[in-house]
Amino acid sequence: MTNIKKIAVLTSGGDAPGMNAAIRSVVRTCAYHDVAVLGVYRGYQGMIENDFAPLDARSVRNLVNRGGTFLKSARSKEFRTPEGRKKAYDNLVAAEADALVVIGGDGSFTGALLFNQEFGFPVMGIPGTIDNDIYGTTYTLGYDTALNTVVEAIDKIRDTASSHNRMFFIEVMGRDAGFLALNSGIGGGAEKILIPEQHSTLEDLVNEIAINHNKGKMSNIIVVAEGYTTGQNVYELKKYVEAQNPDYDIRVTVLGHIQRGGAPTCFDRVLASRMGVKAVESLLEGKSNYMVGINNDKIDLTPLEKAIKGGESKLDPDLIRIAKIMSV
């Protein structure tokens, strides 16, 4: 055990459902081990601007079910500078914090790692992003909730699409990754799923749509990951397909930030609770520079450096094949 008496916690980058549940878990695990907690508002920017408040077990009541993050989140440009990080460090030391838990995505972990390398300050990451694009964990916080939000939206769009024999291009978030699009597409019964991990041409797309049409499919749901690159956005894709087949009646729905909000699913709440406990207890054991993850249903640690530079996508190629089979 270390001499850690106070742990600071912040949320950073795009918010994700389950972040509140993770903060709650960090705070309650600290309370359980008799460690104080410093809540940092607005991510790294709040650290630079001394935007702190003490948190105790009761100050995180009624949060496990709430989307967003009550600590608020930000993408801080100033923290990318050595001067910004120095200010943040001085403020944390003045507030008597001994360690830091960062709940966020890979950009936030890059900041945490730099912070540790420059000042030797113990840091621990909890992956929170709807994109699920972090190496070292099968699931990130918020991904399951966002997935269910997308599937619910696809189901609703399918009702109107089939009533009018229409084709819909549905744009789904995920930054450069296709997890949300691929899994929601399979779960929502999409006829076609376009993801950055799989390259196809516009001609392929038009041909496949024509084949579907000939098979008697009257409506078509095409899920498009926002990171899918043909050089064309979803509206241009629609225009292109329409130009080839003027008979098709096509609409576009960009789901946008609706995917980031809402009450976390039970899966995300439990995951957040497990990850928060592991983050705090690992710091108390003297560990630093790790990200907490879930692999084979076990909570474990991956070095932050590996999580950031993991490189390859962990998208299961078999899922791509399954999507193809399901849309036969």
Alpha helices in the chain (DSSP H): 19-32, 43-48, 82-94, 106-119, 143-164, 179-187, 202-214, 234-244, 266-284, 304-309, 317-326
User: Please, which residue, 104 or 276, has the CB nearer to ligand F6P?
Assistant: 104
**Mode of pairing for the β-strands spanning 123-127 and 290-295:** parallel
Beta carbon of residue 173, minimum distance to ligand F6P (angstroms, whole number)? 3
Beta carbon of residue 38, minimum distance to ligand F6P (angstroms, whole number)? 26
Beta carbon of residue 144, minimum distance to ligand F6P (angstroms, whole number)? 15
Q: Is 138 annotated as a binding residue?
A: no
Q: Which two tokens stand for residue 139?
A: 């699931």
Q: Is 226 annotated as a binding residue?
A: yes
Q: Is 286 annotated as a binding residue?
A: no
Catalytic residue numbers, as ranges: 131
User: Please, which residue, 51 or 131, has the CB nearer to ligand F6P?
Assistant: 131
User: Please, which residue, 107 or 187, has the CB nearer to ligand F6P?
Assistant: 107
Q: Is 7 annotated as a binding residue?
A: no
Q: How far apart are CA 117 and CA 127, in angstroms?
A: 20
Q: Is 2 annotated as a binding residue?
A: no
Beta carbon of residue 132, minimum distance to ligand F6P (angstroms, whole number)? 10
User: Please, which residue, 188 or 196, has the CB nearer to ligand F6P?
Assistant: 196
Residue closest to 146 by CA, chosen among 179, 168, 103: 179
**Cβ–Cβ under 8 Å, residues 272 and 18:** yes
Q: Is 27 annotated as a binding residue?
A: yes
User: Please, which residue, 175 or 192, has the CB nearer to ligand F6P?
Assistant: 175
Positions that interact with ligand F6P (CB under 6 A): 14, 105, 129-131, 173-175, 226, 260
Quote the distance between the C-alpha of residue 57 and its chain's center. Answer: 26
User: Residue 210: how many CB atoms within 10 A of its CB?
Assistant: 14
Residue closest to 222 by CA, chosen among 184, 196, 259: 184
Measure Cα distances from 78 to 46, 75, 95, 111 in Å. Answer: 11, 9, 20, 11
Q: How far apart are CA 69 and CA 141, in angstroms?
A: 12
**Cβ–Cβ under 8 Å, residues 102 and 292:** no
For tokens 């990080």, the residue is: 85
Beta carbon of residue 176, minimum distance to ligand F6P (angstroms, whole number)? 8
Q: Which residues are annotated as a binding site for substrate?
A: 129-131, 166, 173-175, 226, 251, 257-260
Q: Which residues are annotated as a binding site for ADP?
A: 24-28, 158, 189-191, 215, 217-219
Q: Which residues are annotated as a binding site?
A: 14, 24-28, 75-76, 105-108, 129-131, 158, 166, 173-175, 189-191, 215, 217-219, 226, 251, 257-260
